[in-house]
Every structure is written in structure tokens, then in C-alpha cells.
Amino acid sequence: MMADVDWDALTAEAVTVMHRAYAPYSKFKVGVAGLMDDGRIVTGCNVENACYGVGLCAECGMVSNIHATGGGTLMAIACVDQHGDALMPCGRCRQLLWEHGRPTSLIRTPEGIMTLADILPQAFGPQDLIDRAEDRTHRG
């Protein structure tokens, strides 16, 4: 899979959308681009708000874009800061990426290419909800 990803092109898409970020308060612009299982690229950028807690991370915008453009599974992700350098997603965003990718989906990090399982070990996902609901029904 890693050989099939054009990391330079994916990162360039992230840099392009990073320039569209709305970050008047922190001045910390973030862009993200994801390669989907059908070959399309989805993007997102951070959008701040004067009420800091309601700002949206770039990954949130990208996940919305995934669903707005037909759904699918993330195969590879590049997230960049305002300088175009690889940026590790925050914990909340790692969870979002996990739910819309696979454990083996790839992400470019400041330490190189990793899998989502590498950056979110023992992740909680949809299967946990199913397994636990079934467990409760069997216990009576």
C-alpha cells in the first residue's frame, strides 16, 4: 500500500487547503488530505471561532468532506502545519481518522509513515459498541 501512495501529491493537497484555513486567533493553520479507497482525495482545514472551544480541526472538515462526497474508507492521510511540515493529529482527530479508516491505513507523521494502529493503540471503535451491547444481552 505504501508504494501506491504519492505522498508528495497528497501532502501538496494538504498544503493547498491549509492556506484556506480560518485561524485568526492562534495563527496556526492546519490542512489535511486523505486518499480514499476509491482513489479520490478529500481535504479539510481548521476553522477557529472566537469561542475557542467550538473551533474545528482540519480532520473534522475532512471527515465531513468524506461523507459529503460519497463516503468510503481512508487509506492514507497527510496532515500539515502552517509551514507545510507533517503534523500529528490530536487525540480527538486520531479517533475520527480511526473510525473512517482501517487499522492499516497510513499516515505521514513527523517521525515518518505509520499506521493508524501505531498512533492510536488499543483504539475504541464501532465494534466495541456492538461487542459490549451483545455481551449485555447475553448476561440477561
Report the chain's mean pLDDT, rounded to a whole number: 93
3-state secondary structure of 41: strand
Q: Is the pLDDT of residue 75 over 60?
A: yes
Closest by Cα among 78, 95, 99, 96 to 87? 78
pTM: 0.90
Could you tell me the domains of the chain?
2-139 (3.40.140.10)
Mean pLDDT of 7-28: 97
Task: Show Cβ contacts of residue 16 under 8 Å, excluding neighbours closer than 6 positions.
Answer: 31, 43
Q: How many CA atoms lie within 13 A of 133 on its CB side?
A: 5
The catalytic residues are 59
